[in-house]
């Protein structure tokens, strides 16, 4: 991770600068877009579905503005109103920075998207996400002998969130669900029945349907009603158990192109959530183990140096030349880079 540059994840075809406002999220079905300030001639922030949720939740309960006015507001107006007391400068990264730095920035700033900006032109080359980084790592893991920790279970590794899991029921009002997104800063809510069994999931990305169909004037509908507008390609809730191995979890997340798995028991009762950020936190960064002054090393910094099976992964994280490995991939698979570039084109 420390040797690979952020540029290694940039598809060769991504040369255009994204200069779109919020409507682009709706029309293109994407999760975020960089905000361009014409006066400053630079990118000043990221417009995300979270912004839409925050403003929608705020305006819907506010007597000062009617909800239909949201359709007329400019993005700069939204930012001035909502972020006037909490404005933060755009967090970005150079294409020459390491992936380790990128992951550190994502987790430290508690953000899900990190623009890769050319320091010379100021152009946005790419947007790094947890999903894209994990997919990049999986490409290397699949080409090398398997490190021992990939065969360990979630329970053994202690990965995931298992306390105070935010859930909703089928009859929960949509406005209540939006409030949970805002107050607890979670990205998805398992929908459970009376016995706590997972029956569906409502994510932040599902909220985009409110904008697409302009149905945000009625947030008193149930979560189930709101989910009726979801894409026909939804394949159901993806789950796992605490007994599943880290390798199987990574494979499921990458292949299904999802951001989290719901951890359930034998009766499908929700027990926790394991997210992309949980995986990257465990793989790359050092975690506190609950005891003051003690730390549990990240999995990839706790490799057995005598184990040759771990050498390649350790090289990806720390030592090998990124240029050499990138060149080797291109020579072996000239079309592979373009294929890997597909990961930037779609966010489901």
CATH of the domain at 247: 3.10.580.10
Instruction: Name which residue leads in pLDDT, 105 or 55.
Output: 105
Give residue for tokens 């590794």. 157
Q: Say how many domains are in the chain.
A: 2
| pLDDT higher than threshold 90 for residue 181 | yes
Q: Confirm whether 301 is domain-assigned.
A: no
pLDDT value of residue 285: 67
Q: Per residue in 235-267, pLDDT tens?
A: 789 999 999 999 999 999 999 989 999 999 999
pLDDT for 149 equals: 87
Of 129, 162, 189, the domain-final residue: 129
- Looking at the fold, whether 279 and 181 belong to one and the same domain comes out as yes
Residue 105 sits in the same domain as residue 163 = no
Instruction: Judge if 106 and 170 occupy the same domain.
Output: no
Q: How far is CA 83 from CA 54, 59, 78, 95, 137, in A?
A: 10, 14, 8, 28, 35
> Given this model, what pLDDT does residue 279 score?
92
Do 118 and 155 fall within a single domain? no
Based on the fold, state whether residues 109 and 180 are members of the same structural domain.
no
4 to each of 165, 248, 328, how far by Cα in Å?
35, 25, 14
Query: Which pLDDT tens digit goes with each residue over 85-100?
Result: 555 678 999 999 988 8
Domain that holds residue 272: 148-285
113 and 163 housed in the same domain:
no
Q: Identify the H or E element spanning 189.
A: strand 188-192
At residue 78, φ and ψ (nearest 5 deg) are -60, -45
- Report CA 1 to chain centroid distance, whole Å: 18
pLDDT reported for residue 244: 97
pLDDT cut 70: percent of the chain above it: 64
């Amino acid at each position: 991770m420390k040797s690979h540059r952020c540029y290694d994840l940039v598809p060769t075809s991504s040369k255009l600068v994204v200069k779109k406002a919020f409507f682009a999220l709706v029309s293109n079905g994407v999760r975020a877009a960089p905000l361009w300030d014409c006066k400053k001639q630079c990118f000043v922030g990221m417009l995300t579905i979270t912004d839409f949720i925050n403003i929608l939740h705020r305006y819907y309960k506010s007597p000062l503005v009617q909800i239909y006015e949201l359709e007329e507001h400019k993005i700069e107006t939204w930012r001035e109103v909502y972020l006037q007391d909490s404005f933060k400068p755009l967090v970005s990264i150079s294409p020459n920075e390491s992936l380790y730095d990128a992951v550190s920035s994502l987790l430290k700033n508690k953000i899900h998207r990190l623009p890769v900006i050319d320091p010379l032109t100021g152009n946005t080359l790419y947007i790094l996400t947890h999903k894209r980084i994990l997919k990049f790592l999986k490409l290397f893991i699949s080409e090398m002998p398997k490190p021992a920790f990939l065969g360990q279970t979630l329970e053994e590794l202690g990965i995931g969130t298992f306390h105070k899991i935010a859930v909703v029921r089928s009859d929960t009002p949509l406005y209540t669900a939006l409030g949970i997104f805002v107050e607890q800063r979670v990205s998805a809510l398992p929908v459970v029945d009376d016995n706590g069994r997972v029956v569906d999931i409502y994510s932040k990305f599902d909220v985009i349907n409110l904008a697409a169909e302009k149905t945000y004037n009625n947030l008193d509908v149930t979560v189930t009603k709101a989910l009726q507008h979801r894409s026909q390609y939804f394949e159901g809730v993806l789950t796992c158990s605490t007994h599943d191995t880290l390798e199987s979890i990574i494979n499921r997340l990458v292949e299904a192109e999802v951001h989290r798995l719901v951890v359930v028991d034998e009766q499908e009762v929700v027990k926790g959530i394991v997210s992309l950020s949980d995986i990257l936190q465990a793989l790359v960064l050092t975690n506190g183990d609950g005891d003051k002054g003690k730390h549990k090393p990240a999995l990839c910094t706790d490799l057995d140096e005598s184990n040759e099976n771990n050498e390649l992964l350790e090289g990806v994280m720390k030592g090998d030349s990124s240029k050499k490995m990138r060149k080797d991939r291109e020579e072996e698979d000239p079309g592979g880079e373009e294929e890997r570039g597909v990961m930037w084109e779609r966010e489901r």
